[in-house]
Amino acid sequence: MHELSIVESVVDAVTETAAKYPGATVKSVKLRVGVLASVVKESLEFCWELATVGTPLAGAALVVNSVPIVVHCAACGHDSEIEGVQSLRCPNCGELAADLRQGRELEIESIEIDEPEEQQVSGLASPRVCPERPTPVNSSQETK
Amino acid sequence: MTTRIVELRRGILKKNDELAAALRERYRRAGVLVLNLVSSPGTGKTAFLELTLRRLTQAGARAAALVGDLETDNDARRLAASGAPVRQINTHGICHLDAEMIAKHLDEWACVENGVKLDGLDYLFIENVGNLVCPSSYDLGEKIRVALLSVTEGEDKPLKYPTLFNSADAAAITKIDIAEPCGFDRELALHNINEIRPGIRVFETSAKTGAGVDEWLAYLGERKAAISC
């Protein structure tokens, strides 16, 4: 239901970042969405088309990567991925595991842009990869 | 053309999260315990809150409420009968409250005649828009998020809406006085809540008979004492 507001926040953030690369075209926007984020992929994609019309992001693809739940089990000490969202039980020992380590993500991972060649030559281009904040420790657990 | 990947790694709701963090700090400095009540429409949030406000006010606690609805000030008028100050937030179509709305209303409320200031309160309740999906994404800076579930809704509600129940700090089962005619399976409901949010404190309440309310108020008192230390 709130996917349109979420997509509008993405459009604002990406437009702001893309403005740092004059002349560049945004080809795609990659999101990480936890299965516990209460956000529906198809609904995001539908809203994306509506929200980008008439903006510099028109025509850019939206890539939504789902992030599964990972819990830390206090009983056996394992961090485990959980299938589905119906029970937070440790798959290793069967105990309930309240310590959620992953699965609520709702973030913009990266954008792919095409830059004009001359800008590269002029030396105005920014570094090849420009993280805006540190990569979360658990980001490697993402499934595509 | 050269293709480049620019990493952002930023929360989509970063703006809301930043505003919520600022609110949380304001609540902390004012020493007010803030609760965000979330449920489906019709669960009985308003009746539950009305009784809570009345009992707290009678006990001499300073409690107030912000109440969110798409339209009308019906709930604010109902809650005001408790004697506590109440302010209505109309979202005009938006399906949840966000941190910006809360900040705006708190600022406006502090400026009006007979208004409410955070440092004059012990408890602030935020009754969210009736919706079990969207409010779970929007932090309002609250200390305690309470998920409510009525006996008429089905024991599997926590399984159908896991995000909201998983993000809650406490849960309340409402309308427990009509559990039996509704065929409500209490054990199953408690089991389902615990599967989604292991270890969560659950209150079984009735705004009509007052069942479970003493336990709920004791919990509020404990949590308030904990933040005042």
ipTM reported for the complex, 2 dp: 0.81
Whether A63 and A73 map to the same domain: the answer is: no
- Give chain B's mean pLDDT: 96
Element (H, E) at A34: strand A25-34
pLDDT for the residue A38: 87
Same domain, A3 and A64: yes
User: What is residue B191's three-state secondary structure?
Assistant: helix
Partner-chain residue, chosen from B15, B163, B198, that has the shortest CB–CB distance to A37? B163
What local confidence, expressed as pLDDT, does residue A139 receive?
A: 42
Do A6 and A26 share a structural domain? yes
Shared-domain flag, residues A57 and A118: yes
Residue A141 lies in a domain: no
Chain A residues within an 8 Å CB radius of B95: 1-2
Residue A41 sits in the same domain as residue A26: yes
Domain that holds residue A97: 69-101
Portion 26-45 of A in contact with B at CB < 8 A: 27, 31, 36-39
DSSP SS3 for B108: helix
Q: Is residue A136 part of a domain?
A: no
B78 near B49, Cβ under 8 Å?
A: no
Same domain, A112 and A61: yes
From the list A9, A109, A133, the residue facing B15 with the nearest CB is A9
- Whether residues A93 and A32 share a domain: the answer is no
Assess whether A10 and A22 both reside in one domain.
yes
**Is A56 in the same domain as A122?**
yes
- Is residue A140, in this structure, part of any structural domain at all? no
Domains of chain B, CATH where assigned: 14-228 (3.40.50.300)
Note whether B2 contacts A115, CB cutoff 8 Å. yes
Calpha distance B37→B25 (Å, rounded): 20
Contacts of B178 (CB under 8 A, 6+ apart): B151, B152
Q: Which of B5, B137, B159 lies closest to A110 in CB terms?
A: B5
- Overall number of domains in chain A: 2
Domain co-membership, A28 together with A60 = yes
- Give backbone dihedrals phi and psi of B128, rounded to 5 degrees, phi first: -75, 170
Answer yes or no: do B12 and A98 touch at CB < 8 A. Answer: no
Query: Quick one: what percent of chain B has pLDDT higher than 90?
Result: 96
- CATH number where A18 lies: 3.30.2320.50
Could you tell me the mean pLDDT of each successive run of 10 residues in chain A, 144 residues long?
Answer: 88 94 95 93 94 93 96 96 92 94 96 81 49 48 40
Could you tell me how many CB contacts below 8 A there are between chain A and chain B? Answer: 134
A125 neighbourhood in chain B, CB within 8 Å:
4
- A19 with A75, same domain: the answer is no
Does residue B200 contact residue B193 with C-beta atoms inside 8 Å? yes
Is there a contact between A88 and B196 (Cβ–Cβ < 8 Å)? yes
The per-residue pLDDT for A99 is 94
Do strands B170-174 and B201-204 pair parallel, antiparallel, or not at all (unpaired)?
Answer: parallel
Q: How far apart are CA A24 and CA B204, in angstroms?
A: 58
Q: Does B145 touch chain A (CB under 8 A)?
A: no
Best of A2, A115, A132 to mutate (most B CBs within 10 Å, chain B): A2
Residues A85, A111: one domain? Answer: no
